[in-house]
Amino acid sequence: MPRLPIPGVRNLIAIGSGKGGVGKTTISVNLALALAKLGHRVGLLDADVYGPNVPLMLGVEETPQALGERILPIERHGLRLMSMGFISPGDKPLIWRGPMLHNVMQQFLRRVDWGELDYLLIDLPPGTGDVQLSLIQTTLITGAIVVTTPSDVSLEDGRKAVHMFRQVRVEILGIVENMSYLVCPHCNERVDVFSYGGGQRTAAQMGVNFLGEVPLDPKVRAGGDSGEPVALRKPDDPHAAPFYKLAENMIARLEQVGAPKAPKIEVTD
């Protein structure tokens, strides 16, 4: 089966993890916002159908509208968005088998009117299951990012995600270490809650890039819960800065692998 590009999308970036609970959606949302704030045209597809958290993190309660046979993405904070959470909101679980998941993912990719985008980020479900394989085997993906924490358990599963992308011949842009450390609010000292340096060591051992570390920051949690993520702040804000650095590192890595360049535009407020 041929892997087909998404018309109008320059770069399709898959963001995955070997396990849940590592903050993959937090990374996806704030990375997308940082890219948009840097002046790029950005879409975010929440493909985590069993736990679609993008609507909550971006404060969206709308339902997508149709225009003919096309689905119009929700627009918020300069992003074009699509999520199962827009269609099946609330606490009711989604109980679907593989073929149904494949069908809805293809509709989200092919029938949504994404328009012209420099980057379409896909927030994958954790693990290496049906949704990941359905997307990877049918879509021309520019590259993948693997999110982990420094803990050994998370790193073991992160390595599985790296192997999965390699087995299906998707370029790995790099590893992101989330919840890398905590800055004590009282003494301003760094506390390595989940061990130290595991993401960088794993990247070196596996021969992939290390895209950066993001601290365990209460402001990041509060921003996601309130629908106002920290990356909406300026690049020099200390809580937002790690995500802007991540965006810059991702763009630099894309240039290394020869991906289509997005036009460079001045940072927006």
* pLDDT band, residue 21 (cuts 50/70/90): confident
Residue 265 in any domain: the answer is no
- Type of residue numbered 153: V
Residue 16 in any domain: the answer is yes
Helices assigned H by DSSP within the chain: 24-37, 54-57, 84-87, 98-110, 130-138, 152-167, 198-206, 218-226, 241-256
Residue 18 in any domain: the answer is yes
Residue 268 in any domain: the answer is no
Mean pLDDT lowest among 11-25, 136-150, 177-191, 199-213: 177-191
What is the predicted pLDDT for the residue at 208? 96
- Which CATH number covers residue 161? 3.40.50.300
Residue 128 in any domain: the answer is yes
Mean pLDDT of 69-80: 94
Domain that residue 157 falls in? 9-256
Number of domain units in the chain: 1
Mean pLDDT of 244-262: 90
Residue 4 in any domain: the answer is no
Spacing of C-alpha 160 from chain mean position: 18
Residue 25 in any domain: the answer is yes
190-242 pLDDT, tens digit each = 888 777 788 999 999 999 999 999 999 999 999 999 999 999 999 999 999 99
Mean pLDDT lowest among 19-23, 100-104, 189-193: 100-104
- Cβ(200)–Cβ(207) below 8 Å: no
Residue 267 in any domain: the answer is no
| pTM, two decimal places | 0.91
